[in-house]
Amino acid sequence: MPEGHIAHFKVLEQTPHLVGVPVGVSSPNRRFETGAAALDSATVRSLQAHGKHLFYNFDARRVLHVHLGMNGSFAYQRGGSSGAASRSGRSRSGAWLRVSSPSLTFDLRSPKVCELVDDAARDRITAALGPDPILVDEAPGGLGAILEMALPVGAVIVDQSVIAGIGNVYRAEILYACAIHPDRQASTLSDDDLGNMWACAVRMLRAGVADGGRIRTVDRRRDLKVRDSRTCYVYGQRFCARCGGLIRRWMLAGQFAYACEACQPLAV
Ligand SMILES: [Zn+2]
């Protein structure tokens, strides 16, 4: 599932092709037909991401808001609106959105959100989100509210109004790196735990952006005990790479949580 690093990587990837030029906008499956017609031939001023939300800021305060959700994806074709994508079978692909610039055409498929808003609505959406570790270096003071919450920390850190951008894979990996059990009550965490979690989120999500949208948390140079080909320490794993113990998997806040209960003890 796309997490916040994907939205930020898409900004880096698409900005050179879209900003400053009028773009062709259409909706092959017609589900975004009115919005596409309103944006067609408009100029993109900038792209921005906050958490898992992606915004294309057009001229005249028009904003295209995209959230990939569980299944959304982009498919790229190099070349503009008269290029291969519009002539090939992709034109019948059912994409919600097709955007074409002189150097890139992309199709957006199965997004959770694809809507036309204005800049005021964009600002309301971002204001309702928590701080984004890709955008903010130091742990924001407001994060201290987590220490008042009578909820499992594994439920708190995927709440996008608390921290924006962490999904299921990063939840598992951040908590493992910080030796915090996902079921531990957030109110039992210390200020140091919170600072470590934020620093870890900053490091991991930014690495995901730099790594082209992949999540590879295992660092073999630092952790010589990892002898298999895994890219994550606990997410999707059966055995802990450090202690050899079984990785437990259970439902938490609607998605599978993963933990090594030896390395991440519940009782502290
Ligand atoms: Zn372990």
Using the mean position of ligand 1's atoms as its centre, give its distance from the Cα of residue 242 in Å.
5
**What are the beta bridge partners of residue 62?**
118
For the ranges 22-26, 121-125, 241-245, the lowest mean pLDDT is seen at 241-245
pLDDT for res 126: 98
96 C-alpha to center of ligand 1: Å? 44
Q: Give the architecture (CATH level 2) of 141-260.
A: Orthogonal Bundle (1.10)
pLDDT on residue 81: 57
Phi, psi torsion values for 21, nearest 5 degrees: -125, 150
- How close is the Cα of 246 to the center of ligand 1, in Å? 8
Dist. CA 263 → ligand 1 center (Å): 4
From the CA of 240, how far away is ligand 1's center (Å)? Answer: 5
Topology, domain 4-127: N-terminal domain of MutM-like DNA repair proteins (3.20.190)
Beta carbons of 200 and 222 less than 8 angstroms apart: no
Q: Is the confidence at residue 82, as pLDDT, over 80?
A: no
Is 0.85 topped by the overall pTM? yes
| 190, pLDDT greater than 90 | yes
The ranges of the chain annotated as CATH 3.20.190.10 are 4-127
- Residue 93's pLDDT band, with cuts at 50, 70 and 90, is low
- Cα(48)–Cα(68) distance, integer angstroms: 14
Average pLDDT over residues 125-144: 95
Please, what is the average pLDDT of the chain?
A: 93
Task: Express as a percent the part of the chain with pLDDT over 70.
Answer: 94
Q: What number of CA atoms fall less than 13 Å from residue 45's CA on the CB side?
A: 10
The CB-side HSE value for 61 (13 A sphere, CA atoms) comes to 5
Q: Record the tokens describing residue 165, joined without a space.
A: 């951008």
pLDDT over 50 at 135, yes or no? yes
For residues 109 and 90, the answer to whether their CB atoms sit within 8 Å is: no
d(CA 261, ligand 1 centre) in Å: 7
How far is the centre of ligand 1, averaged over its atoms, from the C-alpha of 244 (Å)?
A: 6
Give ranges for CATH 1.10.8.50 in the chain.
141-260
State yes or no: pLDDT of 92 exceeds 70. Answer: no
